Chains A and B, each alone.
Chain A
Amino acid sequence: MPKMLLSCTINDEPAELLVQPYHTLLEAVRDVARLTGTKEGCGTGDCGACTVHVDGRPVASCLVLAMQVRGRDVRTVEGLAANGTMHPVQAAFVAHGVPQCGFCIPGVLMSASALLADNAAPSEAEIRLGIAGNLCRCTGYTKMVAAIQDAAGRMSQ
C-alpha cells in the first residue's frame, strides 16, 4: 500500500510524516515521528497509556487513524514542558513521588494537563473522573490526585 503524507502540527512544530493509511496516530507518533514517550498498553482504548492531545482534547491515539489528524494540532508528553520548564503537573508528579514503573505516566499527564486547562480548580471527584480513563497498576492513584491538586493550586497563583 502506498504511504500517505500526513501534515499536521506536533508539539508546536509543523510535521510532515509518511504514514501507512492504516497507521494509527499512536504508530505515527512513536514509529514515524520517533516520539516514544506515548505508550501502547492495550491498543483498544481501554487503558489510556496512549493519550495525546488533538486540538487540545485528550484522545486515545490508538483509536485514531493517523490521517485523521491532517491539519490538526497534536501534543504529546514531549510537548508538555515549555522552553525547558516542566508543566506544573509534571513537576508535581516528581515532588509527590508519583511515578513508579512509569509506563502509565505520560498518558496520565496528558489527561491531567487537559483537565487543568479546562478546570482550574477541580474537586477530588473531578480529578478522579479526569484520570479514570488512565489505568495505573503501581500507584493506586492517591498520589496522582494529590499532585494534580497541588499543580492546580500552583497554576492559579
Chain B
Amino acid sequence: MTTVMKTTRDVRGVGLSIPRFDAPEKVTGRTQYVGDVQLAGLLQARLLRSPHAHARLLRIDATRARALPGVRAVLTAADIPELKPMARTRAHAMLAIDRVVFGGQPVAAVAADDLAIADEALDLIDVEYELLPVAVDPQKSMLPDAPRVADRGTEADTSEAQAHSGIAATGTQTTTQAPNIAQQGRLTRGDVAAAMAQADLIVENTFRVPMVHQGYIEPHAAIADFDPNGRITIWSSTQGSFACRAEVAEVLGIPEARIKVIPMECGGGFGGKIRALVEPLAVLLSKATGRPVSLIMTRREELLAGMPAPGVIIRLKTGVKQDGTPLALEAETIVEAGAYSGALLTMSAVFLSSVYLWPAFDVRGFEVLTHKPSIAAYRAPMAPQTHFAIDSQMDHIARKLGLDPAEYKLRFLQQGGDLMANDQPWAVNGARECMQALTAHPFWRDREAWRASGGRDGHGLRGTGLAIGGWVPNIQPTSATVRLDSDGTLAVLTGSVDIAGTNMGLALIAAEAYGVDIENVRIITGDTDTAPLTGLSAGSKTTYTVGAAVAEAGEDARQQTLKIAARELEVSVEDLDLRGDSVVVRGVPDRSIKLSVIGKRSNTFGSKVPPVLGSSSLAFDVQAPAFAAQLARLEIDPDTGEVTLHGFVVAQDVGKAINPLGIEGQMQGGAVQSLGFALSEGLLYDEQGRLTNPSLLDYRKLTAADLPDIETIMIEVPAPAGPFGARGVGEPPIVAAPAAIANAIEDATGVRLVELPLTPEKIALGLVARDRANGHA
C-alpha cells in the first residue's frame, strides 16, 4: 500500500467517536476471560517455584504430593522428555532441569481437582537445592568472573527483539569474553573525541531505570485440553494466538496444525503476553491427566516470575557549544534482561542519538544476563528508559545555559528526512507539532507564574516540565477477510486480539472502505483454525497493518458487491454508488438493490450470485514513527517529597484519528503507565536476587487519587502508508512522562534526579542534600 486512502465516503466510519461494541457486555460482567471458562472435568494447576535465584537442583521428589487425594498429576523435569538441556528461551525453561536461574523459576507442576489441593500438594514436594553464587547487579554481572547465567552454547534469543522493534539491527554481536553479556552493539558517527574537545559545556549523568512489570490486571492464564485423538485446544490470555501456537509447537515439538489457540478476552497485555508462558505446562498437564487443565498465575507469581521490562543503566556524556548546539554524544547503555536474552539494543541507540540530532556520537549497548526473571516487551520497549535519559539531559543542558527548555529542544528535534543513527531517514512525523501544541498550552505559557506561586501561602514547590517521546512501530505481515452476510451487514474476520480497542478501529476502517455505516459492521476475532494469519497485537502495529488489510479487504468486498449489483441492475459498475443499505444507480434513485438482497441471493439454493468475500494479504516495508509529547504541572511538598500532579497533558501524532474516543483512552492509559515508571514503580531485588516487593502493596501502581485528569490533544500528520493515514497509537504515550516529571522537578527545586522512580524519598533527600550544599540546615 503506497497511497493514503481518502475518507471521501459519506458514512459513519473513520473519525467517528464511538463506544466499543463490546462495552455493554464488559459493564455487565458477561465478558469471558480464561478464568471464566467452564469445562467438564477441568483441573486446576499450580507451580512449585524456586525460592533461590541461582541454585543447582539436586533432588526433587514428588512422591508424597502424588499420593495426596485429588492430585491428578505432578510433573518435574524428569517427566518431560521434550525439555532440552540447553533452554534457549524462557518458554523452553518451563521447568528447571538441574539448575535454577532465577528466583521463581518453576521446578514442578501440579494438576488437582481444585486449587486448595494443588496448593497443599506443593507443600508435599521435597526439593533439595545447592545454592550457587548469584549475579544480581548488572554492572558486576558484566565482569569476566561473574557467576554464569546462561547455559554454555545457547544463542542470544533475539526473536522478541524482532517482534517489536522497527529499527534494523546492525552491528550486534555476541561475545565470549564476559559470560553474561548476551549482545553488544555500537553505533557511531563522526569523530566524537574531536567534537567533544570543542564543547563549551560537557554534562555527564548516569540514568537508571529498574525492571518494571507491565501491570495488567488479569494474570497470565491458559486452559489446555489435550485430546489423545490428536488435537490440542488452548484457551489463552494472549496478544497473539498465532505466535502462541507457533511457540507452543516449537517448545513441545508438536506440529502447529494439531494445535488450536482460542484467544479469549485479554485482561491487559502491554507486551507481557506476546510470548507463551503458562501454555506449554498446561498442555503437558492435560496430556498427563487426560483432562482439561487451567493454569492461572497468582499476582505474587506475576511479580516474581512474569516477563518484565528490562532494567536499564545509561551513562550519557554530551558536549555542546555555549549556545547549546549539540556537538558530541557518548553513551553506554546496559540493558539487564534477566536470565534469558531478548533486549532491543538498537532502539536505544536510535532514541539516544537521533530523536534530538547529534552530529557526532558513539553509542555502545550491552545486554547483560542476571539471575532474575527474563524480560519480554513492555509498551515501547527501551523507549521510556532512553527518552528519560536523553530528554532529561537536553532539558538540564538548557537550564544550565539559561535557555528555555522547549525552544531549545525544538531547535534540535528531528524531522522527516533527518538521519537516524542507523543512517535510515526519519519518515515524516508530527513530533514538532506535538511539542508546539504543548508550548501553546496555558500550563506552559503560565509556568513562570506557577513556579513563583510555589513555596509561599502554604503551597509546596511548584514546577512545570515537558518532554518528547517517540516510537517506531514494527510491521508484520497480516491478512483479513470481509464478508457480506445475508442480512446485508458486514462480518470482518481477523485473528487480531483486541487489547486496545483496535477492533473498533478496524470496524470503522471496514465501514469506511466498503461504504456503510459502522452500525452495520461487526468484527469477529477468529482462533488459529478459523482466522486468516494475523500478527501480534503489539508494537502499535495493529491499526497500521491489520487496519490496512481490513481496508483493502473492505475495498475488495465493495468491488465484488458493485459487480454483482451491476449484473443484477444491468448497468456498469461506474454508474453505481453505495447509499445507506443499498446499491443505487447514480441519478436514478428508484433503481437499486439492497445489500441484504445480494447477500440472500448469494446463499440461496440454485442461485447464480456468488458470496461476497473480500480478502487481503499484506506485507509491509514502510514504517511510520509516532510521537507523543507530555507536559506535567506539579507541586512538591518540600519536607516529605510528595508530588501532587496538578495537570498532565499528552499531545500525540495519531496520523488519522480512526476512533477518537478509543484513542483518548490509549493516550490516557499509556500516560498513566508512563507516570508509574516516573513516580512509583520498580521491581526491587536484594543481594541474593530475591524480589522484596512481590505484592501490589509494595509494587506501587498509581491510583485514581494520585492523578489528575489526563488531557489529550490529537495531532494528525498522516502516515503515507497507514490506513487513511493512521499511525499506531498504543505505544507513544508511555514514553515521555519520566523525563517530563524529572524536568518539572528540576524546574521546581533546582534538583536534577536521574534514578527512577522519582519517589518522595528521593525528592525529599535530594532537597536535603541541596540545602546542605547551599549551606542551609
Contacts and interface: CB of A to CB of B under 8 A. Distances in A.
Interface of A: 20, 22, 30, 34-44, 46-47, 49, 76-78, 80-81, 86, 90-91, 93-106, 109, 124-125, 127-129, 131-146
Main secondary structure of the interface of A (DSSP, over half): loop
A73 to B, nearest CB: 18
A140 B672 contact: yes
A101 B671 contact: no
18 contacts: A20-B116, A36-B36, A39-B35, A39-B218, A80-B28, A95-B19, A97-B19, A97-B662, A101-B217, A103-B217, A124-B709, A127-B704, A128-B704, A131-B704, A135-B696, A137-B701, A139-B672, A142-B709
Contacts of B24: 86, 94
B19 A103 contact: no
When A and B form their complex, which 8 residue pairs have the shortest distance between CB atoms, in order from nearest?
Answer: A37-B29, A103-B267, A140-B668, A102-B26, A46-B696, A140-B672, A132-B705, A42-B299
A81 B28 contact: yes
Interface in B79-138: 116
B685 interface: no
A49 to B, nearest CB: 6
Contacts of B35: 30, 36, 39-40
Nearest to A20: B116
Given A44-B697, A91-B27, A98-B27, 8 more contacts: A36-B35, A41-B219, A78-B29, A90-B28, A101-B499, A102-B265, A105-B26, A141-B668
Nearest to B37: A36
B23 interface: yes
Which has the most chain A C-beta neighbours within 10 Å: B27, B705, B707?
Answer: B27
Interface in B654-670: 661-662, 664-665, 668-670
Interface of B: 17, 19-20, 22-24, 26-33, 35-36, 38, 116, 214-219, 265-268, 270, 298-300, 499-501, 661-662, 664-665, 668-673, 695-697, 701, 703-707, 709-710
Main secondary structure of the interface of B (DSSP, over half): loop
Contacts, number: 172
B265 A46 contact: no
A35 B29 CA distance: 9
Contact of B27 (A30, A86, A142): A86
A137 B266 contact: no
Contacts of A77: 27-29
B29 A44 contact: no
Contact of A135 (B116, B217, B265): B217
A41 B27 contact: no
B28 A142 contact: no
Contact of A36 (B29, B216, B268, B299): B29
A7 B23 CA distance: 33
Nearest to B25: A102
Contact of B695 (A44, A105, A129): A44
Contacts of B36: 36
A127 B708 CA distance: 12
Contact of A145 (B28, B661, B709): B709
B299 A43 contact: yes
B209 to A, nearest CB: 19
B22 A102 contact: yes
Given A101-B268, A102-B265, A136 B23 contact: no
A22 B117 CA distance: 12
A94 to B, nearest CB: 4
